[in-house]
Amino acid sequence: MPQASLRKEAGAIGLLFASVSAMIGSGWLFAGLHAATTAGPGAIGSWVIGAVAVLLLALVFSEITTMMPKSGALVHMSYVSHGLMVGRVWGWLLFFAYVSVAPVEVEAVLTYANNYLPGLVDTQTGVLTSMGFIWAAVLLAVFVLLNMLIIRWVLMINTVATWWKIAIPVLTIVVLVSLSDHPGNLHIVKGDGGVTGMFSAVATAGVIFSLLGFRQAIDMAGETANPARNIPLAVIGSVVLASVIYIALQVAFLLALRPADIANGWNHLHFAGITGPLAAIAVSVGAAWWGVILYADAIVSPGATGFIYSTATSRITMANGEMGSFPDMLSRINGNGVPMAALIVTYLVGLVFFFPFPSWQKLVGYISSITVLTYGLGGIVLLHLRRAAPDARRPFKLGGAWLIAPLSFIVSTWIVQWTGLATGDFLFGAIAVLFAVYVVYFYGSGSQRSASFGWRQGWWLFPYFGGLWLLLVLGPRAMGGDGAMSFYESLAAGALFSLVILGIALGIGLSAEDTNAYLREISRKESEPVAP
């Protein structure tokens, strides 16, 4: 009997809706509020900046993924360019970026639910209560259990939910714009954070967090029969569709606020029912009936996003198992084409994130920084493949790659800078501890006798991570730095630093022979017959 395999049952619409579902989750319920608090009317610009940044990343990954259409492709591509050390570090980072998303969606559901089921969230701090933690564990379990279904049913459930998730934000825009008339709000600048606030909101208010869901199609690349057509359509199409909705929604939110709500400045924006901001705004403009619908959507939208992220996280976990970054048992697939052990780990690790990040905005800042850090590698991998494997099959070939790829790498550096030093201290501190533990394990267990550690191709990670942290330390005070650089100086320094690291990384990548051998191995595995 052939080994169980992933089923290639995901079509173009299924993949597109998987990405759109991930993008229209808790972000649409909360990001408009947090962006307005941070940037005022500049929040509209924050969404435009975020959309351009994410589209650059999406274009880069569209080419790479169609070259290696494999579920968990984000893990595999790092091995192709820089071998074991970089591959394993990136595999861990990807896992922690993904596994933390379902918990943040659970926190979103409970935060809105607290308006009619008090006691789940502390209304002063937004932090989960003891009862909130219990319900969080239950909801996360529901997401994971539903993923035990075969992928066809998973995507079917998600597609139905996504139609709802697209319709409700669009109708909310119509309701708010038609019933509110405060255009003067767009000209009030008191307490809006200025230009720094506009860029900071991209990383810390949920803008980037909301738009990064395009990766869902990438993570299920091994489960579609026509990746050359379906992956670029799903990835690029989802970014464009979600960006238009979010920009329009931010405009509607700003126009619907009463002048009294921002009398003390945008940074002190407050109104009754603010823990469920869109529903409360709907009530304030005279659409209480729509507020009821939004409270219902506060379960469906983040719930469906948490559900589909549980799917993707299990694929990233499975890929790490295949590459040896995690135990091999996590790569095993049952008769339904489901990585069961990977789903169990997804649940258990997800529970942990409720403790250090017990509120929506705290967890969003962490997710945004670690995710764009992992996505920065895409530009390096793309250019490495262009040089090392120029004749490899490219079902989707990105025009202007030698311009777009470096820009995507620079943008990923900027977004990490915009998250601020507090988040950076936690992120790079955690990376240092994780790497030290791995080094001790690798040499202590005798693994060096059977595999190379990968120092020669991976040493550039040290100046990369260390340099990013130093940029945060020297950055503007508004972002937690010591003020040695102004905001614009920090942007220039970040861009120059990115180009230097890009040059170093490209100079020490795997040889053309090793890169092409790995691509052939991926192609061979993907051509093997699947289980009936």
Name which residue leads in pLDDT, 172 or 73. Answer: 172
> Can you give the pLDDT at residue 393?
81
The residue type found at 84 is: L
Residue 121 pairs with which residues in a beta bridge? 128
The span from the CA of 200 to the CA of 317, in Å, is 31
First to last CA, the chain: 10
- 42 neighbors 292 (Cβ within 8 angstroms): no
Residues 446-458: what's their mean pLDDT?
A: 73
Which are the contacts of 230, defined by CB distance < 8 A and separation ≥ 6?
10, 11, 12, 15, 217, 224
DSSP code per residue over 211-251? HGGGHHHHHTGGG-S-HHHHHHHHHHHHHHHHHHHHHHHHH
Contact 367/101 with Cβ under 8 angstroms?
Answer: yes
Coil/strand/helix, residue 128: strand
d(CA 505, CA 503): 6
Least confident of 212-226, 302-316, 325-339, 365-379: 212-226
How confident is the model at residue 1, as a pLDDT?
Answer: 35
**3-state class of 316 per DSSP?**
helix
User: Distance between alpha carbon 396 and the CA centroid of its chain, in Å?
Assistant: 23
Reference 343, options 305, 309, 308, 313; nearest CA is: 313
Residue 530 pLDDT greater than 80, yes or no:
no
CB contact set of 138 (below 8 Å; sequence gap of 6+): none
Q: Is the pLDDT of residue 458 over 80?
A: yes
Residue 311: how many CA atoms within 13 Å on its side-chain side? Answer: 35
For 392-409, the pLDDT digits (tens) are: 888 778 889 999 999 999
In this prediction, residue 152 has a pLDDT band, given cuts at 50, 70 and 90, of: low
- Say whether pLDDT at 194 is over 80: yes
- The answer, yes or no, to whether residue 352 has pLDDT greater than 90, is no
**How many C-beta atoms lie closer than 10 Å to residue 399's C-beta?**
8
Give the Cα separation of 337 and 331 in Å (integer). Answer: 11
Cα–Cα distance measured from residue 505 to residue 509, given in angstroms and rounded to the nearest whole number: 6
Q: What's residue 4's pLDDT?
A: 47
Asked whether the beta carbons of 30 and 226 are under 8 A apart, the reply is no
342 to each of 28, 153, 328, 329, how far by Cα in Å? 29, 18, 10, 8
Rounded to whole angstroms, how far apart are CA atoms 325 and 308? 23
| Of 476, 73, 482, 138, residue with least CA distance to 312 | 73
For residue range 499-522, list pLDDT tens digits in order: 999 999 999 998 899 888 877 776
pLDDT of residue 532: 36
* Residue 387: pLDDT over 90: yes
Q: Which two three-digit tokens encode residue 136?
A: 């969080």
Q: What is the pLDDT of residue 331?
A: 81
Coil, helix or strand at residue 184: helix
DSSP-derived secondary structure letter, 449 = G
Q: What is the distance between the alpha carbons of residues 168 and 290, in angstroms, rounded to a whole number?
A: 10
Residue found by looking up tokens 């989802």 in the block: 238
Least Cα distance to 420 among 502, 361, 376, 463 occurs for: 361
Among the listed ranges 72-81, 84-93, 113-122, 167-176, which one has the minimum average pLDDT value? 72-81
Place of tokens 């492709």: 73
Tokens representing residue 368 in the block: 């945004």
The one-letter amino acid code at 149 reads: L
Structure tokens that stand for 440 in this block: 């001790």
For residue 452, the model assigns a pLDDT of: 75
DSSP E strands in 384-506: the ranges are: none
12-16, 81-85, 293-297, 410-414: range with lowest mean pLDDT? 12-16
Alpha carbon distance 320, 323 (integer Å): 5
DSSP 508: T
Give the pLDDT of residue 2. 41
Q: What stretch of H or E contains 176?
A: helix 151-179
Give the model's pLDDT for residue 290: 94
State the average pLDDT for the chain: 84
* pLDDT tens by residue, 411-450: 999 989 988 888 889 889 988 988 888 888 778 776 555 5
Cα–Cα distance, 46 to 207 (Å, whole number): 7
Say whether pLDDT at 296 is over 60: yes
Does residue 225 contact residue 156 with C-beta atoms inside 8 Å? no
Domains of the chain: 12-392+404-527 (1.20.1740.10)
| pLDDT tens sequence across 411-421 | 999 989 988 88
